[in-house]
Amino acid sequence: MKTSILILIVVGLTMGCTEDSAPQFEIGSGFEIYLTVKPYAQNETIDYSKINFDTLQLESTPMLRYNDLKRYDRLTHKLTLNISHDALALNEAGVRGRMFVVTLDKIPVYVGFKWRVISSIPPSWVYIEEPYAELDHLSDNEIVIGVPSNIADPRLDQRIVSRLKADGKIN
């Protein structure tokens, strides 16, 4: 009888420890992307590397939770998600984008902009462009964080890279 119970416990624990049972993180943990409460658009005269994060109020719920992030490719900055990229509503931005803030454990690291795939103005700062399968060949659960070549790239901040490595989410 004791052996049967022990076998059931071991089998139950083994079944519960599958590859799909990734750790769950609370809101405010890890790499997250928040929209600002005020829908700021990109302004080419602002140096966003010097933004005062204290002046930005973030929405209470992130646009992208750490639980939604499956993999981050540090060479291409492609994010593979556990959700559809449609859930991010990237198309809900004007021609000059819609500001978001990348945080690590709720601490702001850098800003960027949601960007419509069809816009008469090209982004001049970090952006996540609305995926369009015929142009970018991304799967339904992929997005890319882009950056123009003429700015200092904030995407590989060492704090972010270290955390993603520690949690097994980076290539």
pLDDT, tens only, 96-117: 999 999 999 999 999 999 998 8
What's phi and psi for 76, nearest 5 deg? Answer: -105, -10
What pLDDT does residue 133 have? Answer: 66
Please state, rounded to an integer, the average pLDDT across all residues of the chain. 87
- Give residue 9's pLDDT: 45
Q: Is pLDDT of 13 > 50?
A: no
How sure is the predictor about 132, in pLDDT bands with cuts at 50, 70 and 90? confident
pTM summary value: 0.84
Please give the C-alpha separations between residue 44 and each of 41, 48, 68, 151, in angstroms, as whole numbers: 10, 9, 31, 12
Task: Identify the band that residue 22 occupies on the pLDDT scale cut at 50, 70 and 90.
Answer: low
